[in-house]
Structure 1
Amino acid sequence: MFLLQILRKVKNYSEEVVKQIESCWKPESDERAEWNFVTSTLYGFGIVTTLGYNRIAPITLAGRIFCILYGLCGIPVTMITIANVGRYMNTFAKSCKQKIEKFRVHYWNRKTKLKNKTHQDDNGNNNNDDNDDKNEESSTGFASLVLVAAFLVYVAFGALLLPLLNGETDFINGLYYNFLCLTAIDFGQLVPQRVAFLPITFMYVCIGLAITTIAIDVGSEYVRKLHYVGQKMKNVASTRIWFGGKTLKVLDLLHEVGNKCGVEASVIDKMDLDNVIEQAIARNEGRQQLPLKHEDIISTNEPISELLSPEQQSIAAHPIEMYPLLSRSKIRSRSNAQSNNLASLML
């Protein structure tokens, strides 16, 4: 009887040892690496956002073909949606900045009890408009710095938040995985262990991708400017300008304006538009430039009188000023108005 009890204890002990040994060699199971509805959603999200979810992958031929077709349809739609969200965020940020600037100016004027008076130039335009344009251009660099700072703060915020969803506090690894995710490399490590926290992760990733899109747009503008630094403008006449969702060549636009002003298309075709645009941009940027002359505008050696119609020659026979007068509030006579229209278009 005593021997039987000893054998039973040894048997129970051996079974426990075997179970412990098996548990040491048995690989840990991760629900995020098994196919189910949640992981399938994560895998589809990784495809359409081009982030990738490297914990699972299809192994059948039909599944891989479906992933290709799904990506071809879903990636463009997702990219357009994220880009639109980024533009809306950029527009919202600009409107907030304008409201803050208006409030600051109003508060400063009210505090100092000074009234801003609008000074008009000879053409009747407000100088405040030019100042607003200069302020808008000067604030571009500041906005870029704010955008970079916002991106870094957002990554740091995610590095603190997302590990907490798993009950951990690992800032360095969280920072690393957030950077990989928001730069469209991989987001599989950001998936929380609890399914209830998945919407938070999705929202964080979508907003982060929108911020990244804005940063890429701003960076591309600077790269484009660096590409054309020191280069002379060429073929301005064939350059297309976007008006909403449609484009129009500069030369076609000038033809329409000339038609409204009574200037023939042949006169506009003889203009050196490259030089004219360079001079206009230089004056807009505040660089000192000499006033345009006829030889700077017309890219031919023919006399300007040969390029004009008989009616325009009769107008040009009278002394006219070489600068636009169309914007003046009062025009003394009809002939002066026609002469001013011709000179304005040529300049």
Structure 2
Amino acid sequence: MKWTTALVKFRYRLIGGTDGSTGSRPDGSWETSELLASNHTGKSDDFITSDDQGKEDESEETGMRKYAKLILPHVGLVFLTCAYTLIGASVFYSFENPNEHATKRQQLNLIYLRQEQFVSSMMELAAANETNREVWSEIAQMHMHNMSDHLFVAFEKYFLTSNEVKKNTTVEVWSFSTAIFFAVTVVTTIGYGNPVPITKAGRLACILFSLFGIPLTLVTIADLGKFLSEHLIWLYGNYLKIKHYLCRRVEHRKEKHEHVCEQCQNRGISPHMLPVEEQKIPAVLVLSILMLYTALGGVLMSHLEPWSFFTSFYWSFITMTTVGFGDLMPRRDEYMYLILSYIILGLAITTMCIDLVGVQYIRKIHYFGRKIQDARSALAVVGGKVVLVSELYANLMQKRARNGDRDAFIIENLYVSKHIIPFIPSDIKWIRYIDQNDQGSMSTSSSSLELHSCRFCHSRFSISHHA
């Protein structure tokens, strides 16, 4: 639209006018069309400019809407998973936290009751002037066994610690951050097993929470892994392009010429429209990324927890592979959210590795299996006769079974042929085709014909080279 206004102004310059003003002819006469165009030039220019600006704004708004439609489902999936995890953590906290304080206090009271009973028994023996060593040993052993059994149950089931027993105080295990950590380990199927819900309501909530949370979280992690894999493929593709560009600059290589027939050229097909092969990320690169991230977790956890680097690396690897033995557990609540972020991103990276490497090997296995299945229909020549390989193998097995314990037998003149490939002579370009006329096939001293095959339609065409 703007170029029409520019043409009108240029026309006025030719007849003697300037920008924004009108001019007259050399004889002083005016044309009606020129006067009308001159009077409305400014208005139409402003109108066209505002119209084009509106179209540009509309196109930008449409592009933003399309981008929002693409990104909102993924962002919404992440927020939905986070909200579901927070709701589950709140439910676990409301069920388990009050019960934890009550059960811990009850266990501490029982421990101190056992201690008082032991002391009372010893005092009774002393008051009775009992000097028999066996009696003292029997009573002390009985009380010690009862005490040790009760302490073991309190430590194993109710997560009491020695400091709590010594100071007769309770330390909160089911804090809200611990509840979030437990919810994440449930939906990611890591399952450390420490802590665990004890109440019936908490266990029922865990069943329902896992029933819907595990599929939702696995889909979210798979979506994040796909996002990372696509960006890694994009980065690796750019790396290959830069590497190829630098190699061509150094070696001064020219791009290989692709022959295209005239019909394909008329259709708009160019030699640059070649099929692009899918970028295959090397397995070593993907595994290196996973191991580097695991090592990063080892460094991180060795600073956050009182663990060595090897212990931290071991915990990181067990967590990234969702094994989760539960022998090692982060205890510092102030760094719990940082650890959770590391775990979620690590699971996405693990999914990315499976997506990039595992799929390639699965395709190779399927390809190998199909080739083995195709081998059943392969042919073999034995003694001048063509037989199927499957039939030949069956006959060999039958003959071997009849021969019993013989170590081996020899079959002469046995070879398996692959697919029949027609022999194409190297001088095929000199062979005349049936659709060639005499003029096109003649070769003179001044010109020669060179036959080529089209890159796209594979049709034969000739190119004449003049001497």
Distance (whole Å) between structure 1 residues aligned to residue 459 and residue 260 of structure 2? 14
Read off the aligned partner of 1:95 and give its amino acid letter.
W
CA distance in 1 between counterparts of 2:171 and 2:182 reads 10
1:290 aligns with 2:435: no
Distance 2:300 2:290 in 1: 15
Paired position in structure 2 for 1:213: 351
Please say if 1:183 is aligned against 2:328: no
2:290 is paired with a residue of what secondary structure? helix
- 1:230-272 deviations in Å (ceiling 9; x for gaps): 43599xxxxxxxxxxxxxxxxxxxxxxxxxxxxxxxxxxxxxx
Q: Deviations over 1:193-218 (max 9, x none)?
A: 33231222112111111121123332
CA distance in 2, matches of 1:32, 1:46: 22
Answer with 101-110 or 154-163: which moved more: 101-110
Shift of 1:34: 1.7
C-alpha separation in 1, matches of 2:221 and 2:240? 29
Counterpart in the other structure of 1:80: 219
Secondary structure in structure 1 of the residue aligned to 2:162: coil
Q: Structure 2 unaligned runs (5+)?
A: 1-118, 120-150, 152-160, 374-417, 423-433, 436-452, 461-467
Shift of 1:31: 9.0
Q: How many residues align?
A: 221
Question: Which runs of structure 2 are paired with 1:1-347 in the superposition (5 Å)?
Answer: 27-29=162-164, 34-120=173-259, 126=271, 129=274, 132-133=276-277, 136=278, 140=280, 143-166=282-305, 168=306, 170-186=308-324, 191-217=329-355, 218-231=357-370, 290=421, 328=457
- Identity over aligned pairs, percent: 30
Q: Which residue of 2 aligns with 1:302?
A: none
Instruction: Find the residue that maps to 2:241 and give its secondary structure.
Output: helix
| 2-structure distance, mates of 1:327, 1:115 | 21
The change in CA–CA distance for 1:32 and 1:59 in structure 2 (over 3 A counts) is: same
Contact conserved, 2:301 with 2:307, CA < 8 A, in 1? Answer: no
Aligned partner letter, 1:156 = A
RMSD: 4.0
Q: Distance in 1 between matches of 2:178 and 2:368?
A: 49
Q: Structure 1 77/328 Cα, relative in aligned 2: closer, same or farther at 3 Å? A: same
Contact 1:46/1:187 (CA < 8 Å) preserved in 2?
no
Counterpart amino acid of 1:203?
A: S
Equivalent residue letter for 1:61 = K
Conserved? CA contact 2:258–2:455, under 8 Å: no
**Counterpart code for 1:155:** T
Please give the per-residue CA displacement for 1:135-190, whole angstroms capped at 9, x wherever unaligned.
x4xx63x5211111211222122112112112x35022112211211111217566
Paired with 1:28 and 1:289, the residues of 2 have a C-alpha distance of 82
Which range moves more in the overlay, 194-203 or 111-120?
111-120
Q: How far apart, in 2, do the equivalents of 1:69 and 1:146 lie?
A: 40
* Bigger Rg over Cα: 2
Matched residue type, 1:34? V
Q: Structure 1 length as normaliser, TM-score?
A: 0.53
TM-score by length of 2: 0.41
CA distance in 2, matches of 1:32, 1:211: 36
Distance in 2 between the 1:173 and 1:109 partners?
A: 48
Deviates more, 1:85-94 or 1:179-188: 179-188
SS in structure 2 of the partner of residue 56 of structure 1: coil
Contact 1:178 / 1:190 at 8 angstroms: preserved in 2?
A: no
CA gap of 1:62–1:80, structure 2 versus 1, over 3 A, is same
The answer on whether the counterparts of 1:53 and 1:187 sit within 8 Å (CA) in structure 2 is: yes
Distance 1:31 1:148 in 2: 45
Name the CA distance, whole Å, in 1 between partners of 2:178 and 2:351. 26
* SS across alignment from 2:368: coil
CA distance in 1, matches of 2:255, 2:454: 27
**By how many angstroms is 1:226 displaced?**
2.0
The range that moved more, 184-193 or 149-158, is: 184-193
Q: Deviations over 1:96-118 (max 9, x none)?
A: 11111112222233334444244
Deviations 1:46-65 (A, max 9, x none): 11111113221112222111
